[in-house]
Amino acid sequence: MDVLIAGAGPTGLMLAYELALAGVDVTILERLDTRIEQTKGGALQARTAEVLDLRGLLGPIQARELPREAVGGHFAGLPVPLDASPWNTRHPYPISVPQWIVEEELERAAAARGVQVRRGVEVSAVSQDSDGVTVTAGGEVLRARYLVACDGAHSTVRKLLDVPFPGRAGTFRAVLTDVRLSSVSDEVPTTMGHFSTMTTQAGEYWGMLVPVGDGKYRFTFGRPGVTTADETRAALTALYGEETTLAEVLNSSEFGDATRQLESYRYGRILFAGDAAHIHPPFGGQGLNLGVQDAFNLGWKLAAAMRGTADLLDTYQVERHPVAARVLRHTAAQRVFALPGPSEDVVELREIFTDLMRLPDTNRYLAGMMSGLDAADRIPDFEVVTGDGPVWLSTLLHSGRGRLLDFGDRTWPDGWADRVDVLHVKPDGEHDALLIRPDGLLCWSGGADVTTALTTWFGVRAG
């Protein structure tokens, strides 16, 4: 076995897809017997949509998108939509899709590439030596060259390794539940709109009901301190009136606002990704997105390590740790504005910040930050004209290999053909040549010798 992944959440599934695409032998070990169809994460941010597009994985997910008003994302629930269009994206609005659907589609795609998801198998012991890792799961002892812990916020692997998870403890516990309602008042939303129009507050409760298809609703609610699922009915009545009555609780879990991040994402042959590596309050729908993008960054690098062509694993930490650190900072900042019962000072500050958000530059900055579209070296998708006609650039990355796009007719150094595909496309008057990593990021665009960039990102010349 090449790689074992602990956890079949969105992070583990995305990583498994990437590894299998690169020909790596990968198995996921998942504690749960079956997937819980819990909405949990409810939206894909624009950059995640782009990343999924780079593999042709977005289509099947988007086909199951829930109706949503064409309106941008939010910062701290403040009533000014974020406009992502200045970032030149094909996905200017968050895509409303329950997390379990994202997982289901990723698992389908991964399975089609030969990934085995072993369910009902809990990782319970881990050790490593210079050749690989030994993992005990479901009473079985397994051996692989690497283990990636994608086992969520309460990561068993993190605890087994006894590595520090520094940060701040949470200040509240709230409830996330999927419910069916037997009757609804006029206040219950019929479709997803801007976040600021979806949240409500009454008495000591705050909450949000979101229709998630098939007559179901995602109900998120809390009050100061610790809220439990036993309060679902009381919170529903307080927030949406007596006419809104509960028919059935389909599932429920608790969440909080703890903020923590691993200092290192790598301990020898064991790596961490997604919630196992970082946790933060769920303001602005960032967690699933961060995890999928961690996996996308790590997959091709781990595959290169398996093949022995390039040693890029340390760049995973360098590139992804600051991204999550920034999310931890801005979700902490959002908490100041978003938590109910703000002080008079915070109310004043909210007003001023809301006005600032109407300024195009501020709005653009926040939109880039919240959607992930301000990612370093991102290339907005655009059409290129090949010998077969126009295609979206993203489709040229479906293979998961590097891509050298020449807007001309030059000859390029040989020796990387096993890792990088060269394509000559029609000059567009704007680009010269682009060297694109398997994760869609630009690593060279003319200027200095391309050989240096090829060697840095794809390893030494073959032959």
Ligand X SMILES: Cc1cc2nc3c(=O)[nH]c(=O)nc-3n(C[C@H](O)[C@H](O)[C@H](O)COP(=O)(O)OP(=O)(O)OC[C@H]3O[C@@H](n4cnc5c(N)ncnc54)[C@H](O)[C@@H]3O)c2cc1C
**Shortest CB 248 distance to ligand X, Å:** 20
Give strand ranges (E) for 15-94.
Answer: 26-30, 43-44
d(CA 415, CA 458): 10
**Shortest CB 101 distance to ligand X, Å:** 12
Nearer to ligand X by Cβ, of 87 and 221: the residue is: 221
Nearer to ligand X by Cβ, of 15 and 310: the residue is: 15
Identify whether the C-beta of residue 244 lies closer than 8 Å to the C-beta of residue 186. Answer: no
For 21-41, what is the HEC assignment?
A: HCCCCEEEEECCCCCCCCCCC
23 closest CA partner among 295, 401, 440, 292: 401
Q: Which residues contact 330 (CB under 8 A, 6 or more apart)?
A: 75, 284, 369, 370
**Shortest CB 9 distance to ligand X, Å:** 2
Contact stretch for ligand X (CB under 6 A) within 8-16, 57-65, 340-348, 428-436: 8-16
If one counts every other C-beta atom within 10 angstroms of the C-beta of residue 424, the result is 16
Long-range CB contacts (within 8 A, 24+) of 408-413: 408/432, 408/433, 412/450, 413/450, 413/451, 413/454, 413/461
d(CA 97, CA 213): 10
Instruction: Determine the size of the site formed for ligand X (CB under 6 A).
Output: 35
- Does position 99 interact with ligand X (CB under 6 A)? The reply is yes
**Shortest CB 409 distance to ligand X, Å:** 43
Nearer to ligand X by Cβ, of 295 and 397: the residue is: 295
- Does position 18 interact with ligand X (CB under 6 A)? The reply is no
277 closest CA partner among 102, 370, 145, 158: 158
d(CA 94, CA 103): 17
**Shortest CB 443 distance to ligand X, Å:** 26
**Shortest CB 98 distance to ligand X, Å:** 9
Give the 3-state secondary structure of residue 208. Answer: strand
**Shortest CB 429 distance to ligand X, Å:** 38
Q: Contacting ligand X (CB under 6 A), which of 43, 58, 117, 135?
A: 43
Q: Scanning residues 221 to 280, which ones bind ligand X (CB under 6 A)?
A: 255, 274-275
- Does position 123 interact with ligand X (CB under 6 A)? The reply is yes
Q: Scanning residues 160 to 179, which ones bind ligand X (CB under 6 A)?
A: 176
Binding mask 274-313 for ligand X (x = CB under 6 A): xx------x--xxxxx-x----------------------
If one counts every other C-beta atom within 10 angstroms of the C-beta of residue 300, the result is 25
Nearer to ligand X by Cβ, of 281 and 402: the residue is: 281
Nearer to ligand X by Cβ, of 7 and 402: the residue is: 7
Nearer to ligand X by Cβ, of 205 and 255: the residue is: 255
Contact stretch for ligand X (CB under 6 A) within 6-14, 340-348, 375-383, 429-437: 6-14
Identify whether the C-beta of residue 187 lies closer than 8 Å to the C-beta of residue 241. Answer: yes
Residues found near ligand X in the complex (CB under 6 A): 6-12, 29-32, 40-43, 99, 122-123, 150-153, 156, 176, 220, 255, 274-275, 282, 285-289, 291
